[in-house]
Amino acid sequence: MRAYLTRMPQTPAFLDPGRPPVPDIVMPRGVVPFYLPRRPVRGRLVRLGVLADALLTRHDNHPAVTRLAGQALALSAALSTALKFRGSFSLQTKGDGPVSMLLADCTDAGALRGYARANTDRLATLLERSPSPAAGELLGGGYLAFTVDQGPDQNRHQGIVSIEGDNLAAMALHYFETSEQIRCAVHIACEQTAAGWRAGALVLEKIAGAGGIDPTLDADAQEESWRTATILAATLTDSELLDDHLSPERLLYRLFHTEGVAVDRARPLSYGCRCSRARLSGILESFSRDDLDHMAVDGNIVMKCEFCNVDFRFEREEVRGATASPQQH
């Protein structure tokens, strides 16, 4: 992944004639922010809809791995829209389990992408012992990182904690409790339905301070409001969260109508892989000619985009490579 952090040509992907076709999918109301008026509660409802199937079926993973990747995509979308930034927000895990890496990121414009890297032999061994493994079993011991990357001219902001919990929601809550001291409630789901893979998330956050809160609510009353909201959120089922025919407004009303609920302006989510032949060519040009010769097989260099699972093929002769400086000889 380090290669992707190199400064690259700025040719937009849609102007790159060498870019393989990818799904042109936008969910206009992929993220619906909401709040409970005059209560210390706000949240985001994420519904990926057909976008989940387009992203997840790019890789031929076992359903257990696909389910985990879909949950990561939904959680990344939910958390990214809580921030004010320009750039990308990423969720990444590295562990010693069968799924050695899980990565999902979402830009400030809602462009979403992700993938999971699994060891097929170790996964098969786990599945023999546990046919429906939890996220903790798939990931093993390791770390969870949340990163905000605002480009090469800005410092990256990153928080890292150890992987704790059986599922991705519990791991995220562990991060917020230990690193951010933010009180949250998280529900994530991803399943293969009759219409294809679907993924979604509901995230609640307790608001700190007095802004927008009923001034007659003392600390105990605010705590009771938060407790009530989390109890109501816990009644949400996976089938409700993933139901294409249940509108966000209807679902939120079903959950929180006794407390009152108000919806903010929805935000779009889109198929967001940003790979392109021009960008990968720029990466190759940074390698020495000797390195490029070693990369070539039968006169070709092949680079794979891990996110959309597409191979880009370059003839060795078309890539010049960097000229070594005298100090390197």
- Per-residue model confidence as pLDDT tens digits over 200-236: 999 999 987 655 677 777 888 889 999 999 999 999 9
Percent of the chain scored above 70 by pLDDT? 88
Average pLDDT over residues 1-12: 37
H/E element, 269: strand 267-271
Tally helices (H) and strands (E) across the chain.
10, 13
Distances (CA, A) of 89 to 111, 158, 173, 245, 298: 10, 10, 17, 29, 39
Q: What is the pLDDT of residues 17-47, one digit of tens each?
A: 555 666 788 999 999 999 999 899 999 999 9
125 and 96, same structural domain?
Answer: yes
Q: Which is higher by pLDDT, 305 or 227?
A: 227
91 and 56, same structural domain?
Answer: yes
Q: What is the pLDDT of residue 15?
A: 46
267 and 281, same structural domain?
Answer: no
pLDDT at 134 exceeding the cut of 90: yes
Cα–Cα distance, 175 to 157 (Å, whole number) = 14
Average pLDDT over residues 52-68: 95
Q: What is the pLDDT of residue 329?
A: 41
End position of a domain, from candidates 271, 292, 317 = 271
Q: What is the pLDDT of residue 307?
A: 75
Average pLDDT over residues 289-316: 78
73 and 144, same structural domain?
Answer: yes
Handedness of CA 151, 157, 162, 163 (dihedral sign): negative
Looking at the domain assignment, is residue 226 inside a domain?
A: yes
Distances (CA, A) of 256 to 41, 143, 194, 204, 233: 11, 34, 28, 12, 8
Looking at the domain assignment, is residue 9 inside a domain?
A: no
* Domain of residue 293, residue span: 277-328
pLDDT at 8 exceeding the cut of 50: no
